[in-house]
Amino acid sequence: MGALLDWLLEGPAWIRYRALVDLAGEPESSPGVQDARRAMLEDPQVSALVQELQGWPGVVLNSHKSAGQLYHKLRFAADLGLRWDDPGMPEVVRAAMAYQSQQGPFQLPMAVSVAHGGTGHEDRGWALCDAPVIVGTLCELGLSGETTVRRAVDSIAGLARENGWPCAVSPELKGFRGPGRKGDPCPCATLACVEMELSAGISHEQQTRDGAEALLTQWSERRESHPYMFYMGTDFCRLKAPFIWYDVLHVTDALSRIPWLRRDRRLHEMMGVMMQQVGSDGRATPGSVWTAWKDWEFGQKKGPSRWVTLLVERVRLRMNS
């Protein structure tokens, strides 16, 4: 991995920091990692991201797939390795935790049309497409021990079923539900909830196991089963960053964090699909991009992306551990 690591370390500080920690295995206390982290916090793109997050919660949410939503950007900040007490971040996390629902999850402003079961007006609420993302992100930022965060984790875990997490929303959204059978698990919600449990330390092991199994079963039955119209076809299999929706790199990144799954044949099949898109030099080019992230180095399809390469290589190293 020497040449590949050298190439990654030539990238922006935020890539250099994660490569040293995730791939080279250097401790946070090492001088090189500390230098890279300081440089990351001073990076103009990272500084601008933190500044943008000051506007939490951002625009009214009407599509969870909208890649420019601030809760997606907060998740990316945590993926980079930002912490709640970094410059500018305490204000962001206070805003994100300011509206906790009676049920436990934190709320966002939403507008669900009458045709889809909502009121048509702006309300504060939560759904399992956003709530576990926010809660898991708060855990990654270093707030997993906060009482309000633990309450949210427990609440979301309590919504799990034997086949994963369903499409579920807060009472304010008047029973909105995506296009699918009530008994089916929602793949996107299940992925987000499994990630939340991983970030929170897997305090609900059975729910995590059931959710992971639901995702792997969806892969093995992908030609016949498409719950809530989630497919695992061509679009799913393209390499894409950051982690916004339901795709092969996102799913394998999450499931490869679970030690007891690293020999699962289905997970290795997904990894194989992913590795087929990697060049002989180990570098990975995005197969799809989010236009909201076009200014980042992974927001293009013209050539290899260091960030996407790092994510793929991290999965490979985990699976071989």
113 pLDDT band (50/70/90 cuts)? low
Render pLDDT for 173-205 as a digit per residue (tens, 0 to 9).
776 777 778 889 999 999 999 999 999 999 999
- Reduced to 3 states (helix: H, G, I; strand: E, B; else coil), residue 291 is helix
* 3 in any annotated domain: no
Render pLDDT for 135-176 as a digit per residue (tens, 0 to 9).
999 999 999 999 999 999 999 999 999 999 999 999 887 767
Per-residue model confidence (pLDDT) at position 37: 98
When the pLDDT of each residue in the chain is averaged and rounded to a whole number, the result is: 94
Per-residue model confidence (pLDDT) at position 59: 78
* 116 in any annotated domain: yes
Per-residue model confidence (pLDDT) at position 229: 78
* 306 in any annotated domain: no
* 210 in any annotated domain: yes
Number of domains, the chain:
1
pTM above 0.75, yes or no: yes
Q: CB–CB of 297/310 below 8 Å?
A: no
* 82 in any annotated domain: yes
DSSP state of 262: T
Domain that holds residue 182: 44-231
Q: CB–CB of 144/126 below 8 Å?
A: no
Give per-residue burial for 17-43: e unless 16+ CB within 10 Å, then b. Answer: bbbbbbbeebeeeeeebeebbeebbeb
* Sign, Cα dihedral of 234, 236, 242, 245: positive
Render pLDDT for 273-306 as a digit per residue (tens, 0 to 9).
999 999 999 999 999 999 999 999 999 999 999 9
Task: Determine the Cα–Cα distance for residues 168 and 182; give it in Å rounded to an integer.
Answer: 10
* 149 in any annotated domain: yes
Q: Is the pLDDT of residue 223 over 60?
A: yes
* 262 in any annotated domain: no
Q: What count of other Cβ atoms lies within 10 Å of the Cβ of residue 91?
A: 13
Nearest C-alpha neighbor of 133 from the set 70, 176, 84, 215: 70
Render pLDDT for 263-275 as a digit per residue (tens, 0 to 9).
999 999 999 999 9
Per-residue model confidence (pLDDT) at position 230: 82
Give per-residue burial for 174-192: e unless 16+ CB within 10 Å, then b. Answer: eebbbebeeebbbbbbbbb
117 pLDDT band (50/70/90 cuts)? low
* 184 in any annotated domain: yes
